[in-house]
Structure 1
Amino acid sequence: MKSCDYIECADERYKLRQVRSDDAQAAAAIEAICFPPSEACTLPIMKERIALASDAFLVAVERETDQMIGFINALCTDEKSLRDELFTDTRLHDPTGKNVMICSVSVLPQYQKQGIAGEMMRNFLGWQKKLGKQQAILTCVPGKVKMYEKFGFTDLGESKSSWGGEKWHEMCCVLK
């Protein structure tokens, strides 16, 4: 998929596309709304992620306005567990890495509970599989475990991560 390509969705209110270099401000703003300050990605790191890992970044935009309403962003590595340093050190991204570490799934509150995260995740996982990735790994708060299980992830239990001072569950989806 190229950054100008759109993925058509069954829902006529939005469409999906790869991230563009000028999306950093909007993505960082959405992340700041969806996550507490101790967990949200900063604008400089968001810019780095987009520059280094655009193949691991999927954006949802409102059809009528073309405004970003959500996104999934990740870094790739051969590591098997999502460690805290992956949230802040983009040098850990290895485009040839076999695993995709999902750093965040963000959807603006007014668009939540409408299936957008699920549609993004289905397309993101399919795209990563086509790119040859073997697993998608993420961490989530306990209250989101069931949602990610619906997307095909398996709960691996409590994570070693303490990002943002939270207790997280590590979840994995095999892409083979």
Structure 2
Amino acid sequence: MVQIERLTPRDAETALPALAELLKDAVDGGASVSFLPPLPLEEAARFWRQALQAMAEGQRVVLVARLEGALVGVVTLDLARVPNGAHRAEVQKLLVHSRARGQGIGERLMRAVEEAALEAGRTLLVLDTCRGYTAERLYRRLGWVEAGVIPNFALEPNGYCDTVIFYKQLAAPPPRA
């Protein structure tokens, strides 16, 4: 049984090794998520320390998926911190461990991050992925709208990938004050 939970600052240190391993698994498996393989575990841990610090400061939401108690998935929501962006956020780092794929965990994480966004007062979400990735099909199936494609955006081990930018309007924006 998969459980989705919101990570808290108190849980962060305990979750750090599993998050680092999850990022390493994704990058070394070919995911284009800001890093190139082979990803040293310490570099993955350094990324998560910064992300978890942003979470502790209220700038990021981190949701994790657990399968039989083991952390097997994550997605983050980076909350816009500019005055004209209080209604929006960026979905980042949707990762499911290679041993847990094909079980609907990515979809469950995406649905949970949308709920978390609404709870945080965020009605407009954006994200990006490389064209042709499995994630692209998932986002389309979940109602995300393609805003455009940036050619040769991300460097990968075998060249560059075109990046598809998506958005999803979760609700009408709040009225202006």
Tell me the TM-score normalised to structure 1 length: 0.73
Find the aligned partners of 1:43 and 1:140 in 2 and give their Cα distance: 22
Q: 1:158 to 1:112 in 2, by over 3 A?
A: same
Secondary structure at 1:119's aligned position in 2? Answer: helix
Confirm or deny that 1:113 pairs with 2:134.
no
Aligned to 1:28: 20
Confirm or deny that 1:69 pairs with 2:68.
no
Aligned to 1:175: 170
Which structure's residues are more often strand, by fraction? 2
Aligned to 1:145: 136
8 Å CA contact retained: 2:131, 2:163: yes
8 Å CA contact retained: 2:77, 2:117: no
Q: 1:123 to 1:154 in 2, by over 3 A?
A: same
Q: Deviations over 1:24-77 (max 9, x none)?
A: 2211211111124428773212111112126521000113xx210001013111
Q: 1:52 to 1:78 in 2, by over 3 A?
A: closer
Tell me the TM-score normalised to structure 2 length: 0.72
Secondary structure at 1:42's aligned position in 2? Answer: helix
Aligned to 2:36: 38
Q: 1:14 to 1:31 in 2, by over 3 A?
A: same
Q: 1:139 to 1:162 in 2, by over 3 A?
A: same
8 Å CA contact retained: 2:75, 2:110: yes
8 Å CA contact retained: 1:78, 1:98: no
- Per the TM alignment, residue 98 of structure 1 is displaced from its structure 2 partner at its CA by 2.6
Find the aligned partners of 1:101 and 1:146 in 2 and give their Cα distance: 18
8 Å CA contact retained: 2:75, 2:91: yes
8 Å CA contact retained: 2:66, 2:73: yes
Computed over aligned residues only, the root mean square deviation of the Cα atoms, in angstroms, reads 2.5
Find the aligned partners of 1:53 and 1:97 in 2 and give their Cα distance: 16
Which amino acid in 1 is paired with 2:164? H
State, as a whole percentage, how many aligned pairs show the same letter. Answer: 13
Aligned to 2:4: 16
Instruction: Please list every run of 5 or more consecutive structure 2 residues that lacks an aligned counterpart in the other structure.
Output: 172-177
